[in-house]
Amino acid sequence: MLMIKASGSLLDQYNVMEGMEEQHKIIKRKLPAMLDVIADAEEQATTHRDGAKAWLQEVKTVAYEANEVFDEFKYEALRREAKKKGHYTKLGFDVIKLFPTHNRIVFRYRMGRKLCQILKAIDVLIAEMHAFRFKYRPQPPVSKQWRQTDYVIIDPQEIARRSRDKDKKNIVATLLGQANNADLAVVPIVGIGGLGKTTLAQLIYNEPEIQKHFQMLLWVCVSDTFDVNSLAKSIVEASPKKNDDTDKPPLDRLKKLVSGRRYLLVLDDIWNNKELHRWERLKVCLQLGGMGSVVLTTTRDKRVSEIMGADRAAYNLNALEDRFIKEIIEARAFSSEKEKPAELVEMVGEIVKRCSGSPLAATALGSVLRTKTSVNEWKAVSSRSSICTDETGILPILKLSYNDLPSHMKQCFAFCALFPKDYKIDVKKLIQLWMANGLIPKHKEDSLETIGQLIFDELVSRSFFQDLEKGKKHWEYYSRNTCKIHDLMHDIAMFVMENECVVATMEPSEVEWLPATARHLFLSCKETTGILNESMEKRSPSILKIQPLACLEALYKDRIISTETKVSASPEVP
């Protein structure tokens, strides 16, 4: 992005870098040197080389600062263009005097100092780059031969039905067996991330016997925060029979909802529940349900079943059989229309061992192998993929899948750290956010929307997005397509973005900390007035940094005081 901005023809056309031509040439000459080794630095950072990780973080910091400097140059060029074409007069700005007086000498002096500071920082980074001995790794070209949608030749639910049929029957029998139990039963499904716990729970949830047996079925994803009030509210909102007493406390609404009804509540992905008293507060309300009510949980943490007082041992989900892992890999790695090369098929067995029975790892590796056509390329992938263990899980394989992406796709996916876990992402809005932040490469033939959709489709084919839902079209509404990100894939995005994306879904009084490195903010709460005012400006000025136009600033402030706010701001797009 910085390379594109630094090479913009608009800057030369309106002579906004007058007196800084030499520094401009040096920056354009030195930036490619860092770009050449970025891929190697990223890979070393993911293998826990702290120096490489720190260097990459500093590269980001300097790049953001440089981006802001070149945004100022671009703004000045646009201002001069507007003045030259007479837009000031047409809009009445010559009378209203909205714009401050622009002194070219002052502008040149101020921007010259900023540009020199950026150059010094780049020199330091290049010196460190040589010290770390990062190697050149060519980036995959932005190909126009986008993959067709034949990756949907395999339905994950279909494989899950066959591979987890025994597990499903066992758990369904357990749930139905609670029919005469007056106490609230808790049944945990335990297993490492990516093993298919949520998929199994979905199969159980949709089982006809279960649908018929329980009077009410509820599904809530818990993920990071076990906040009692938020969770109670989510449970109530998950029911089609939710009450309208929105002014009452969430726990009171929950009591009213479950009272006397036999229900199945799925609490998906509990892994941060360390405080027993929180669960006890929720349990008191849930116990008001009818006889035979059950809470089915999925978790990575064996201790959760103990904390939640499960009356039976947790159901430990075993690794998927190798034959199913092989089926997933082959379906992902080979086109449905072409004959499978025998020498590559022979190598699938070795790849299967890397997955340790994880369907998500198999899907990710198969998607990486799909872009490789030779034995040497497959061997390289196999040697770079660590075998999944209880300690590392499948994160090393998912990182390998991320590292295999072209740089523009890496940026697009990493940007998704902006969303909370298990959030339903509006696909159209996501592509618009990519466009607004300059993450989509321009192409002469296609629009940014078209390229954005192709990037999204490619990321779906590589399993970075899942749970695609197509909204129904009504005559008065447009269809709304949504997707989600698997928790472990979300962890990859968070690992890449570190503290650059901040998600705040708490009440205003609880939002007390915002790192200075924050560049993107997701904010969703009842009252937003005051949240993004003085306190946040001090902690993270980049969030609120916009171009010095009073009219744009007013429009931006209108956005941040709406009932529910989701802001992703960049200096270029206030």
pLDDT in tens, 124-164: 999 999 998 898 877 655 444 444 444 444 565 678 788 99
Q: Which residues of the chain have pLDDT under 50?
A: 95-96, 98-99, 142-153, 474-477, 508-511, 545-574
How much is the pLDDT for 339? 80
Element (H, E) at 187: strand 185-190
3-state secondary structure 440-467: CCCCCCCCHHHHHHHHHHHHHHCCCCEE
Beta-carbon contacts of 442 under 8 Å, excluding residues fewer than 6 positions away, are 448, 451
Contact 494, 440 (CB under 8 A): no
The CATH number of the domain where 485 resides is what? Answer: 1.10.10.10
Beta-carbon contacts of 447 under 8 Å, excluding residues fewer than 6 positions away, are none
User: What DSSP letter does each residue of 190-201 carry, written as one string?
Assistant: E--TTSSHHHHH
Q: What are phi and psi of 45, to 5 degrees?
A: -65, -35
How much is the pLDDT for 551? 35
Domain that holds residue 229: 157-316
From 256, 281, 316, the end of a domain falls on 316
Nearest C-alpha neighbor of 441 from the set 146, 25, 61, 149? 146
Question: Same domain, yes or no, for 108 and 206?
Answer: no
DSSP 8-state code for residue 473: P
pLDDT in tens, 363-416: 999 989 988 888 999 998 888 776 666 666 788 889 889 988 988 899 999 999
3-state secondary structure 351-401: HHHHHCCCHHHHHHHHHHHCCCCCHHHHHHHHHHCCCCECCCECHHHHHHH
The answer as to whether 538 is a domain residue is: yes
The answer as to whether 148 is a domain residue is: no
DSSP 8-state code for residue 416: G
Distances (CA, A) of 198 to 191, 312, 465, 486: 10, 20, 15, 10
What is the amino acid identity at position 513?
Answer: W
Question: Same domain, yes or no, for 164 and 125?
Answer: no
* Residue 17: Cβ-neighbour burial (10 angstroms; 0-12, 13-18, 19+): buried
Q: What are phi and psi of 10, to 5 degrees?
A: -60, -35
Nearest C-alpha neighbor of 199 from the set 235, 161, 171, 230? 161
Contacts by residues 246-251 (CB-CB < 8 Å, ≥ 24 positions apart): 251/281, 251/282, 251/285
How much is the pLDDT for 564? 36
Beta bridge partners of residue 185, listed in sequence order: 294
From 404, 433, 461, the end of a domain falls on 404
From 373, 404, 435, the end of a domain falls on 404
Contact 569, 521 (CB under 8 A): yes
Q: Using CA atoms, how far apart are residues 66 and 118, in angstroms rounded to an integer?
A: 6
Question: Same domain, yes or no, for 300 and 254?
Answer: yes
Q: Using CA atoms, how far apart are residues 256 and 480, in angstroms rounded to an integer?
A: 32
Question: Same domain, yes or no, for 67 and 190?
Answer: no
What is the amino acid identity at position 338?
Answer: K
Question: Same domain, yes or no, for 441 and 503?
Answer: yes
The answer as to whether 181 is a domain residue is: yes
How much is the pLDDT for 14? 82
Question: Same domain, yes or no, for 309 and 398?
Answer: no
Number of separate domains in the chain:
4
